[in-house]
Structure 1
Amino acid sequence: MGNSGLAIAPLVLGGNVFGWTADRAAGFAVLDAFVAGGGTMIDTADVYSAWVPGHVGGESETLIGEWLRHSGRRDDVLIATKVGMLAGDGGDGLAPARIAAAVDASLRRLGTDRIDLYFAHRDDPAVPLAEPLDAFDRLVRAGKVRAIGASNFTGPRLDEAANVAAANGLTAFSVVQPHYNLLERTDFETTLLPVVRERGLGVMPYYGLAAGFLTGKYRRTVDLTGVRGAGAGQYLNARGLAVLGALDLVAARHAANPARIALAWLMAKPCITAPIASATSAAQVTDLVAAMHITLTADDIAALDAAGG
């Protein structure tokens, strides 16, 4: 993962569903299946799932913490979580006091003594970059955090953060978490990718399946049902259907399905460390981890690039 010192399997399990669309039993089954399938990193955030009526945030971390205690697998997995989108003790955003309070709250919910990868969930222009970087650096020096990353940062701000860290002798972001998939390419490929290459950063893209659209489940308006349907609907257009058509053709060549191929496309990109994908059942996990064993040809990748370009 860039220069973080961490090494992971090429697929990360997204924890946004835990405590929301995956209850304790389903969440435990998903986590068990992921580790059994060779997965090594779980990604969550303190804000998951504060958007649900009656939730306050921390539900995902709490479920993961319960699983860690129940399974005894803490040393077999790496945990990534985030700060910056949930207000609480110390304020909100990336204020240093908020970071200090939030990390301790996350550690308590997770039931662990360290967070392997701690992300700034989004940029906070109201706070000079040196301040959160100093706060993160203190956490690394204290052993609470092993490496830090930036999610939802623009290329220029990510570059600025690297310069600030170097100038002040602070721990730098070593991983970036962008919105990137076959249908969301422009921002990453034009503004972030040059910085990623120059700085040697690891990349963990989220929404690798475009809110579920790239599973191929949503091909008609009548398919747009359930929690995921609304998000997938934004891609139900000529371009989205063209991408699904390309996925279908490549999937047929590999005796796979569109979801596996969409993730394999991300894994095949030289700059990508591992895409993030979530699941609400063990069967879905088994399907997703199979993507780690698919090797796309140059023609496969060219066809997918052209369809989503």
Structure 2
Amino acid sequence: MRTRQLRSQHQAVPVSALCLGVMALGVHQGEDSSYAVLDRYFEAGGRFLDTANNYGAWTEESLGTQAGDSERLLGRWIASRGVAEEVVVATKCGAGKADPRRPLSGQAPTNYEGLAPEVVRRELTASLERLGLPRVGVYYGHVDDRTRQAAEIADTFADLVEEGLVQVPGLSNTTTWRLAEARAHSRSASRPAFGAWQQEHSLYWPAPGGAEDTLVTREGLDYAAEHPDLTILSYSPLQKGQLARPWLPLPDRYAHPGSGRRLLTAHQIAHAHGSTVNQVVLAWHLAGPASSVRYAAGSATLTTDALPLRRAAMIPVIGARTVEQLDEALGALDVQLDAEDLAALDGC
């Protein structure tokens, strides 16, 4: 397994190039099948695991689960395998229940707990207990809290890094400008800045006019390409199997003609390499999608082709529920996309 570096101020944390998201493990998947996936990932050299404090809350009525079940499962596996010192665990807060008597919702009022300093600290303490760890590698604000200033959120997470409870602070489902504002505040105060940014990204770009706060946009990609100390963690990179089933409708957030063209291009590249379209998309993420914003300062006398190509650091978060799904994703590490392939995926 190749490794990457997550960075924040003077901290550099080596992590696996493919991150295993364990949202379904311990929630949709039982212990035996969950352990089989975790064991296979570890056997393949994987050491970077992603969870959240609210995984299990969405399925309380349908599956009889509860918030934190994914963390509990992961904590039991870590303890049973004795690998606490070998793995890097990322978890999240902010999208747990504010009122335990009400359900969570993706639409307002969401009932999200938010990112008040006391909430962030309380939830980290609970997550560490469920995971059985003294600290986590990455701690995300799971959703933005627009009732609070970006500077306050930045300071809240910087405190936890400086106390040794978190290695790299992160944000998720947050607009580019809010992330940039928070990072600028931390840098101006010489404090640990957000070094991980988890957003939904696959092959497609958002449809015009839709909400973009949870997605990787071209502007966000350009920001990350300009700041090599920031890594994008792309979730839902395989769009729940839609990439491999092109007859399925596109999600509304990506429903426009350009998405179909991009999917066709990815399938053509996969055919040429003898790989799957899922592996091609993951390999593109691993290569780092290139920014298409090419007008750099002082470039008025240069042609576009003369400007340097800038790529954003990206780690896909794969959500395999079976060993077979995991093995397909791991195969992306062996796919070597050439310059022509990357240019087609970057530009189409």
What TM-score, normalized by structure 1, do the two folds share? 0.87
* Counterpart-to-counterpart distance in 1, 2:44 and 2:251: 27
* Counterpart-to-counterpart distance in 1, 2:271 and 2:97: 47
Deviation larger for 195-204 or 4-13: 195-204
1:18 counterpart letter in structure 2 = L
Q: 1:169 to 1:243 in 2, by over 3 A?
A: closer
Give 2:204's aligned residue. Answer: 183
* Counterpart-to-counterpart distance in 1, 2:256 and 2:224: 31
1:217 aligns with 2:227: no
Give 1:145's aligned residue. Answer: 166
Which structure 2 residues correspond to residues 11-30 of structure 1 after superposition, within 5 A? 11-30=18-37
Give 1:228's aligned residue. Answer: none
Q: 1:295 to 1:205 in 2, by over 3 A?
A: same
Q: 1:233 to 1:157 in 2, by over 3 A?
A: closer
* Counterpart-to-counterpart distance in 1, 2:136 and 2:92: 10
1:203 aligns with 2:213: no
1:279 aligns with 2:320: yes
* Counterpart-to-counterpart distance in 2, 1:266 and 1:70: 32
Deviation at 1:3, TM superposition (A): 2.3
Residue pair 2:197, 2:233 contacting (<8 A) in 1 also:
yes
Which structure 2 residues correspond to residues 34-113 of structure 1 after superposition, within 5 A? 34-52=41-59, 53=61, 54-87=64-97, 92-113=113-134
Give 2:7's aligned residue. Answer: 3
Q: Secondary structure at the match of 1:274?
A: strand
* Counterpart-to-counterpart distance in 2, 1:288 and 1:165: 35
Deviation larger for 260-269 or 132-141: 132-141
Give 1:225's aligned residue. Answer: none
Q: 1:173 to 1:234 in 2, by over 3 A?
A: closer
Compare relative contact order (CA 8 Å, sep 6+) and give the higher one, 1 or 2.
Answer: 1
Give 1:290's aligned residue. Answer: 331
Residue pair 1:133, 1:170 contacting (<8 A) in 2 also:
no
1:77 counterpart letter in structure 2 = V
CA offsets, 1:228-285, max 9 Å, x none?
Answer: xxx8687688655544433332122222111111111111223133111111111111
Deviation at 1:79, TM superposition (A): 0.5
1:28 counterpart letter in structure 2 = Y
Give 2:39's aligned residue. Answer: 32
1:268 aligns with 2:309: no
Q: 1:241 to 1:160 in 2, by over 3 A?
A: closer
1:277 counterpart letter in structure 2 = I
Deviation at 1:2, TM superposition (A): 4.7
Deviation at 1:62, TM superposition (A): 0.8
- Structure with bigger helix share is 1
* Counterpart-to-counterpart distance in 2, 1:96 and 1:241: 43
CA offsets, 1:137-170, max 9 Å, x none?
Answer: 2221221111101111111111110122233443
313, 316, 341: which one pairs with 1:300? 341
What stretches of structure 2 of length at least 5 have no aligned partner?
100-111, 289-310
1:174 aligns with 2:195: yes
Q: Secondary structure at the match of 1:136?
A: helix
Residue pair 1:183, 1:210 contacting (<8 A) in 2 also:
no
1:155 aligns with 2:176: yes
* Counterpart-to-counterpart distance in 2, 1:57 and 1:161: 28
Residue pair 2:233, 2:314 contacting (<8 A) in 1 also:
yes
* Counterpart-to-counterpart distance in 2, 1:239 and 1:199: 28
Give 1:224's aligned residue. Answer: none
Give 2:277's aligned residue. Answer: 258
What TM-score, normalized by structure 2, do the two folds share? 0.78
Residue pair 2:232, 2:314 contacting (<8 A) in 1 also:
yes
Residue pair 2:161, 2:167 contacting (<8 A) in 1 also:
yes
Q: 1:29 to 1:233 in 2, by over 3 A?
A: farther
Deviation at 1:129, TM superposition (A): 2.5
- Structure with bigger strand share is 2
Identity of aligned residues (%): 31
Q: 1:117 to 1:251 in 2, by over 3 A?
A: same
Q: Secondary structure at the match of 2:119?
A: helix
2:282 counterpart letter in structure 1 = L
